[in-house]
């Protein structure tokens, strides 16, 4: 993989910049942390060289100064809102986040339930039974426009003050709309009443403020948030204050006048002249090959189009999302023809008359796989890829049919499956078992790590198990927006 981003420089610059911001505000900073603290695969795709756990590693450099507060909305608890990427509810994800942060060596101080209602009582009790501190913040009439009420005893004053002990308070959440910003501002109100001049800053990786508005990396962020209808835009407040063009996104620009008024209500003045001023993102300063990142951004936009089209077929997205990404593709100057594995997979499917798949290897070679009586296309292309990477002759069977056939019998005769072909997880288990006695299978198994970051395309949508395995292997998957058959239930 070509590298376009200096990850070590990023870790160093980002932690130093946050320390500077802490010292600027009297040694107490509330940092609203947007996006994913770990497993940030979007960033690693559009900024090749960025490690998915970079933000977590950066915070570990500040571990002795930082504590984490996790915000969750009572409304999301009540309606069992689900994280689309993980398939778990927001309340369950709070528990996952706490454990993950603790395992990494970070201190989780508490959980705040925003827009609190009685619907959250059970979750609050559950957390407290685990020894986790829980605070309640409430809805405020007219939020965010009614600033006089918000910045008063009947507004933020009603919220419970979150006890914190460290100079850097990271406020994060399972997903958007959880009330992170309101939590930070409420804390500023309460800190000020206690004579503490705490500060606020915002950490969002995208859009990258010092890249051009139509840079493919920033356009890829718009594609990733098509369901939220976020729009990148020039920060007009920054342009007016400094005469410099920077990029932000519509929600921060729209809320800034209200945010500024809240700061004035709390402190008498606003410490920032623009939404860009609030940010602490140094990612743009760590791009070392703009061409590599531009191409990565273009490829991400294409992948997002396929993902959204697949979701549209499943009834999980709207046509407007597809239309928006198609507009972004035009801005970036790309079509699906710019993704080489697409043509290879479709050609293989046309030739064989059955579902097919293609993988682009790190050296640019493209390997294809076809559907057979024994294997699905995704399982076949995986085996063909590791053979190619391991210089294993095509005629050598990594897994004997005598091994595959009993597994098929198990699936059909005992587990009730109607599809006898082996999925990717099943074929990998069979390969690993064969590796104990077959040197070629062992050699093939060693090649799997080389597939991380490779592109793959399939001529039909895959099962959830195949998608999950390909993602775990680090393959960047797209699929044609159609099912293999015309069943109503898949």
CATH of the domain at 374: 3.40.140.40
Structure tokens at 373: 């009586």
Task: Give 451-464 pLDDT, tens digit per residue.
Answer: 999 999 999 999 98
Query: pLDDT category, 276, cuts 50, 70, 90?
Result: very high
Buried residues in 164-190 as b, exposed as e (16+ CB within 10 A): bebbbbbbbbbbeebbbbbbbbbbbbb
User: Are 142 and 27 contained in the same domain?
Assistant: yes
Query: pLDDT category, 85, cuts 50, 70, 90?
Result: low
Is residue 345 a part of any domain in this protein? yes
Is residue 330 a part of any domain in this protein? no
User: Are 260 and 350 contained in the same domain?
Assistant: no
Query: pLDDT category, 137, cuts 50, 70, 90?
Result: very high
Task: Give 35-54 pLDDT, tens digit per residue.
Answer: 777 778 899 999 999 998 89
User: Are 151 and 41 contained in the same domain?
Assistant: yes
Rg of the Cα atoms in the chain: 25
Is residue 318 a part of any domain in this protein? no
User: Are 353 and 276 contained in the same domain?
Assistant: no
pLDDT of residue 150: 92
pLDDT of residue 373: 84
What's the number of domains the chain is made of? 2
Whether the ω angle into residue 319 lies within 30 degrees of 0, i.e. cis, is: no
Last residue of one domain, picked from the residues 283, 302, 332: 283
What are 476's strand-pairing partners? 455
User: Are 348 and 439 contained in the same domain?
Assistant: yes
Give me the mean pLDDT over the 341-348 stretch. 98
What is the bridge-based pairing of β-strands 232-234 and 247-249?
Answer: antiparallel
Is the pLDDT at 490 greater than 60, yes or no? Answer: no
Domain holding 161, by residue range, is 7-206+248-283
Q: Calculate the CA dihedral of residues 261, 264, 266, 270 and round it to 10 degrees.
A: 100
pLDDT of residue 489: 56
User: Are 361 and 433 contained in the same domain?
Assistant: yes
Quick one: 215 exposed, middle or buried, by C-beta within 10 A (0-12, 13-18, 19+)? buried
State the Cα–Cα distance between residues 489 and 222, nearest whole angstrom: 32
State the Cα–Cα distance between residues 480 and 458, nearest whole angstrom: 6
HSE-CB for 410 with a 13 A CA cutoff: 7
Is residue 101 a part of any domain in this protein? yes
Is the pLDDT at 390 greater than 90, yes or no? Answer: yes
Asked if residue 360 lies in contact with residue 341, where contact means CB atoms within 8 angstroms, the answer is: yes
Task: Give 153-185 pLDDT, tens digit per residue.
Answer: 999 999 999 999 999 999 999 988 899 999 999
State the Cα–Cα distance between residues 251 and 235, nearest whole angstrom: 11
Is the pLDDT at 370 greater than 70, yes or no? Answer: yes
Task: Give 222-233 pLDDT, tens digit per residue.
Answer: 999 898 888 999
Is residue 352 a part of any domain in this protein? yes
pLDDT of residue 112: 98
Q: Average pLDDT, whole number, for the chain?
A: 92
| Residue 120 per-residue DSSP state | G
Is the pLDDT at 308 greater than 90, yes or no? Answer: yes
Q: Of residues 81 and 27, which shows the higher confidence score?
A: 81
Is residue 185 a part of any domain in this protein? yes
pLDDT of residue 405: 82
User: Are 69 and 151 contained in the same domain?
Assistant: yes
Q: Of residues 145 and 187, which shows the higher confidence score?
A: 187
Asked if residue 238 lies in contact with residue 274, where contact means CB atoms within 8 angstroms, the answer is: yes
User: Are 263 and 350 contained in the same domain?
Assistant: no
User: Are 278 and 352 contained in the same domain?
Assistant: no
pLDDT of residue 194: 92
Contacts of 331 (CB under 8 A, 6+ apart): 214, 219
Give me the mean pLDDT over the 405-422 stretch. 82
CATH of the domain at 165: 3.10.630.10
Buried residues in 71-106 as b, exposed as e (16+ CB within 10 A): bbbbbbbeeebbeeeeeebbbbbbbebbebbeeeeb
Give me the mean pLDDT over the 431-445 stretch. 93
Is residue 463 a part of any domain in this protein? yes
Asked if residue 480 lies in contact with residue 461, where contact means CB atoms within 8 angstroms, the answer is: yes
User: Are 74 and 176 contained in the same domain?
Assistant: yes
pLDDT of residue 488: 57
Last residue of one domain, picked from the residues 283, 309, 332: 283
Is the pLDDT at 305 greater than 70, yes or no? Answer: yes
Count of helices and strands (H, E) across the chain: 20, 14
Is residue 186 a part of any domain in this protein? yes
Q: Of residues 269 and 422, which shows the higher confidence score?
A: 269
Is the pLDDT at 439 greater than 90, yes or no? Answer: yes
Asked if residue 339 lies in contact with residue 478, where contact means CB atoms within 8 angstroms, the answer is: yes
């Amino acid at each position: 993989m070509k590298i376009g981003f200096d990850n070590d420089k990023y870790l160093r610059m980002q932690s130093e910049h946050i320390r500077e911001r802490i010292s600027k505000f009297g040694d107490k900073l509330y940092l609203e942390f947007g996006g994913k603290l770990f497993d940030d695969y979007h960033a690693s795709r559009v900024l090749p060289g960025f490690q998915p756990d970079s933000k977590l590693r950066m915070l570990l450099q500040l571990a002795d100064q930082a504590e984490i507060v996790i915000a969750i909305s009572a409304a999301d608890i009540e309606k069992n809102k689900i994280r689309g990427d993980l398939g778990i509810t927001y309340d369950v994800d709070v528990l996952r986040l706490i454990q993950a942060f603790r395992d990494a060596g970070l201190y989780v101080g508490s959980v705040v339930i925003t827009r609190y209602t009685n619907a959250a009582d059970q979750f609050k009790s559950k957390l407290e039974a685990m020894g986790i501190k829980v605070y309640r913040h409430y809805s405020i009439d007219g939020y965010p426009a009614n600033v006089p009420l918000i910045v008063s005893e009947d507004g933020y004053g009603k919220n419970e003050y979150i006890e914190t002990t460290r100079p850097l308070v990271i406020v994060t959440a399972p997903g958007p709309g959880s009330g992170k910003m309101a939590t930070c501002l409420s804390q500023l109100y309460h800190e000020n009443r206690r004579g503490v001049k705490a500060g606020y800053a915002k950490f969002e990786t995208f859009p990258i403020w010092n890249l051009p508005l139509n840079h493919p990396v920033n356009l890829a962020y718009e594609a990733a948030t098509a369901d939220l209808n976020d729009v990148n835009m020039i920060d007009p407040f920054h342009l007016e204050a400094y005469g410099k063009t920077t990029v932000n996104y519509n929600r921060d620009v729209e809320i800034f006048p209200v945010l500024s008024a809240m700061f004035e209500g709390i402190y008498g003045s606003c410490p920032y002249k623009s939404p860009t001023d609030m940010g602490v993102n140094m990612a743009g300063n760590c791009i070392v090959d703009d061409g590599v990142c531009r191409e990565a951004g273009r490829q991400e936009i294409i992948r997002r189009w396929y993902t959204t089209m697949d979701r549209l077929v499943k009834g999980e997205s709207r046509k407007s999302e597809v239309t928006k990404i198609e507009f972004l593709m035009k801005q970036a100057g790309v079509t699906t023809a710019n993704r080489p594995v697409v043509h290879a997979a479709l050609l293989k499917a046309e030739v064989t008359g059955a579902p097919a798949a293609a993988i682009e290897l790190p050296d640019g070679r493209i390997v294809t796989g076809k559907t057979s009586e024994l294997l699905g296309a995704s399982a076949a292309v995986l085996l063909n890829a590791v053979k190619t990477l391991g210089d294993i002759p095509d005629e050598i069977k990594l897994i004997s049919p005598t091994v595959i056939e009993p597994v098929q019998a198990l699936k059909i005769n005992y587990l009730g499956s109607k599809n006898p072909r082996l999925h990717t997880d099943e074929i990998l288990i069979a390969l690993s078992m064969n590796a104990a006695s077959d040197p070629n299978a062992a050699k093939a198994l060693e090649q799997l790590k080389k597939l991380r970051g490779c592109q793959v395309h399939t001529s039909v949508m895959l099962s959830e198990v195949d998608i999950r395995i390909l993602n775990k292997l680090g393959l960047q998957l797209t699929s044609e927006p159609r099912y293999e058959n015309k069943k109503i239930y898949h």
